[in-house]
Amino acid sequence: MGFLDKAKAKLTDAVDQHGDKIAQGIDKAGDMVNEKTGGKHADKVDQARGKARDALDSLDGRNDDIPPAPPTSRA
């Protein structure tokens, strides 16, 4: 098992255990970007937020760790 395999296994375990907290962090980061830009790029931020959630959630091959994104509020 190589270095990257071990890193992926650890990341997968972290997402399995703390997926809800990671999702909250992704949402907070997106909200902060929207706040700083005045919502000017909200559509792109929402798209990036969704891709980040999907990528983390699919690490173990099961899309069950990250809860669905809440509805966004446009500034």
What pLDDT sits at residue 72? 60
DSSP 48: H
Is the separation of the CB atoms in 49 and 69 below 8 Å? yes
Choice between 54 and 59, residue whose per-residue pLDDT is larger: 54
Query: For the chain, what are the domain ranges?
Result: 3-60
Q: Is 71 exposed, middle or buried (0-12, 13-18, 19+ CB in 10 A)?
A: exposed
What pLDDT sits at residue 48? 94
Kindly tell me if the per-residue pLDDT of 28 is higher than 80. yes
**Portion of the chain with pLDDT greater than 70, in percent:** 77
Place of tokens 């992926």: 8
Q: What band does 62 get if pLDDT is binned at 50, 70 and 90?
A: low
Kindly tell me if the per-residue pLDDT of 75 is higher than 50. no
Amino acid at 6: K
Residues 6+ apart with CB under 8 A from 48: 30
